[in-house]
Amino acid sequence: MLKNLKDYYRPKSLPEALKLLKKGKGKIIPAGGNTALADMENPGIEGLVDIEKAGMSYIKQTGGNINIGAAATITDMIESALIEKFCGGFLRQAALSVGSTLNRNMITVGGNVFQLFLWSSLPVAFLALDAKIKVQGGSKPRLVPAADFFKQLPRKILSSSEMVTEVQIPLAPFKDANAAFIKFSKTATAFPMVNAAVILKLKGKVIDKLAVSIGALQLLPQRFTDIEASVIGKEWDQKTISAIAEEISGRAKILPEIRASAEYKRQVVRATIEDTLASLSK
């Protein structure tokens, strides 16, 4: 892997890390858990900036957000009391769906967001949560809404001197919400065939908030905010649940793959959403 790799840097702060990326002009990239490097043969990469000690390994509440630093690992998320308490442990479920303990000890939140593989779990959860992705290294820091960040490959949104430094999750919209993250796969540690993040808030017997995002169907996670908006205020019953599941699964873009046909996956999406919505409202 990375046969032309010459330099390995260990900056002690974010400004140092950003200085290196700028200097590298695309030949120096951030390195978190490095689990993606095993398959990387890019001869253009000459340097890695290890961000582990650059001050981004935090998970904290700041004002109305949970802020997760890009160098926090998936294991850090699982062990965080803050993450466990948030939305009934929804984000913790998403983190636990990632690979195995071995991988989780190394995979970083920033890496899982930026690399955006077909099987990446956290982008699916962050999309449903209307998270904001902090990007730094350009002329000024920017906060990119998840809906925009995951509209195309993140490497097309970031310049070579930029990197993901933080994910911000708003707390208020999800107060009193029930949520679940489901990974459908052949085994516990296999890549998912379907990922689904489902968030539901009822006001009595009426829908107050709904967010459903799905992943592992095509490269980018998907969410249908128009469908979500159309059911606000509707009575919560089995007919509504089935209609939501039918509509979302019908609209989802699904690439066929060797493990399962698009039609099979579509049925899984429908059943997953329907079952999850039903269980969340109990």
Contact segment (CB under 8 A) with another protein among 11-19, 63-71, 135-143, 222-230 equals 11-19
The residue type at 212: V
Query: 104 or 223, CB closer to another protein?
Result: 104
Pick from 13, 61, 62, 267 the residue near another protein by CB under 8 A: 13
Strands annotated E in 156-205? 163-170, 178-184, 194-203
Q: Is 204 left (phi over 0), alpha (psi -120 to 50) or beta?
A: left
CA distances (Å), origin 172, targets 8, 155, 175, 198? 41, 30, 5, 17
Interior angle at CA 55, CA 49 and CA 57, nearest 5: 95
Residues 81-140 that bind another protein (CB under 8 A): 99-103, 105-106
Residues 171-200 that bind another protein (CB under 8 A): 188-189
Quote the least distance from Cβ 16 to another protein, whole Å: 6
Query: 43 or 204, CB closer to another protein?
Result: 43
Pick from 22, 42, 50, 262 the residue near another protein by CB under 8 A: 50
Spatial contact of 111 and 121, defined as CB atoms under 8 Å apart: no
Query: 1 or 278, CB closer to another protein?
Result: 1
Instruction: Look at the alpha carbons of 179, 183, 189, 192 in this order and tell me if their dihedral is positive or negative.
Output: negative
Residues found near another protein in the complex (CB under 8 A)? 1-3, 5-13, 16, 20, 31, 33-35, 37-39, 48, 50, 75, 99-103, 105-106, 188-189
